[in-house]
A = this chain, B = another copy of it.
Amino acid sequence: MATGRSTQNNPNAAASNRRSRGRGIPDATVARLPLYLRALTALSERSVPTVSSEELAAAAGVNSAKLRKDFSYLGSYGTRGVGYDVEYLVYQISRELGLTQDWPVVIVGIGNLGHALANYGGFASRGFRVAALLDADAALSGQLVAGLPVRHTDEMEEIVRSERVSIGVITTPPGAAQQVCDRLVAAGVTSILNFAPTVLNVPDGVDVRKVDLSIELQILAFHEQRKAGDDLDDADQEVPATPSAAVVSEGTELEEAAG
């Protein structure tokens, strides 16, 4: 059964292959490294030479024991009684995350969101470089966005290959996301950041992470509702038992091109 394409399982995880688990750094740790790196970079810019796990943990918003354990996976780069060398840690984490090299990225779907991402400075700051902006709308072709010309998706395969792009960002409407994803993967992309509210199916070996604004808001709404309910300290949480309720119209913009 589950032999062809793997659907994204984990919370937001990539194709966490069980096999290549050499000195495997736990996923949870990997997800926090960028957080540490950001805090360390700020310290570095203030020329702070060393930092204790307690201080750094506070800056990153995590538990200090967790931070120390995280760092222990990278090897032991601290000095007892002193703390961690800021510059050295910045280097080690950058290296571990692969930020010491250049990562060409393509953004597909230059609408509202694609525009914003293209203009986002935080991209280039770390090793990420926007190799191309792609859109299926021919009317956009050639138009400059953040100094880069929008190119037609016809050129996708050529660009991915020639620029050695391994990371693709999808900001198309949901109905086009799977198709765009398939083309990116076929062209050689092996990591995808998906902003469309779509479950992407990809072959093994391809990592997908998704950013879903709508889900985040709904989770907040849940907690918000719970807080409100706790305040009132209700007693009636009974189910109305009205199956046919109209409920939220939702208006999903699905164009669902079927499988």
Q: Say yes or no: is A47 at the interface (Cβ < 8 Å to chain B).
A: no
Specify which chain B residues have a CB less than 8 angstroms from the CB of A230 in the assembled complex.
20-21
Contact B126 A116 (CB under 8 A): no
Specify which chain B residues have a CB less than 8 angstroms from the CB of A143 in the assembled complex.
none
Q: Say yes or no: is A121 at the interface (Cβ < 8 Å to chain B).
A: yes
Contact A8 B237 (CB under 8 A): no
A91 to chain B, nearest CB (A): 4
A115 to chain B, nearest CB (A): 7
Beyond A120-B112, A242-B75, whether A219 also contacts B125 by CB under 8 A is no
Q: Find A125's partner among B119, B193, B251, B256 (CB 8 Å cutoff).
A: B251
CA distance A120 to B243 in the complex (A): 30
CA distance A207 to B96 in the complex (A): 31
Contact A61 B221 (CB under 8 A): no
Specify which chain B residues have a CB less than 8 angstroms from the CB of A127 in the assembled complex.
221, 248
Q: Find A239's partner among B7, B28, B75 (CB 8 Å cutoff).
A: B75
Q: Say yes or no: is A99 at the interface (Cβ < 8 Å to chain B).
A: yes
Contact B197 A38 (CB under 8 A): yes
Contact A105 B219 (CB under 8 A): no
State how many copies of this chain the complex holds. Answer: 2
Contact B220 A167 (CB under 8 A): yes
Task: Classify the interface of chain A: helix, strand, loop or mixed.
Answer: mixed
Beyond A94-B247, A230-B20, whether A42 also contacts B256 by CB under 8 A is yes
Contact A190 B224 (CB under 8 A): yes
Q: Say yes or no: is A80 at the interface (Cβ < 8 Å to chain B).
A: no
CA distance A239 to B222 in the complex (A): 45
Chain A 16-71 residues near chain B, CB threshold 8 A:
18-23, 28, 30-31, 33-35, 37-39, 41-42, 45, 58-63
Q: Say yes or no: is A225 at the interface (Cβ < 8 Å to chain B).
A: yes
Contact B42 A221 (CB under 8 A): no
Specify which chain B residues have a CB less than 8 angstroms from the CB of A139 in the assembled complex.
none
Contact B221 A253 (CB under 8 A): no
Q: Say yes or no: is A205 at the interface (Cβ < 8 Å to chain B).
A: yes
Beyond A85-B243, A125-B249, A243-B85, whether A219 also contacts B34 by CB under 8 A is yes
CA distance A244 to B76 in the complex (A): 7
CA distance A177 to B113 in the complex (A): 21
Top 4 nearest A-B pairs (CB, nearest first) are A98-B225, A61-B199, A112-B116, A88-B243
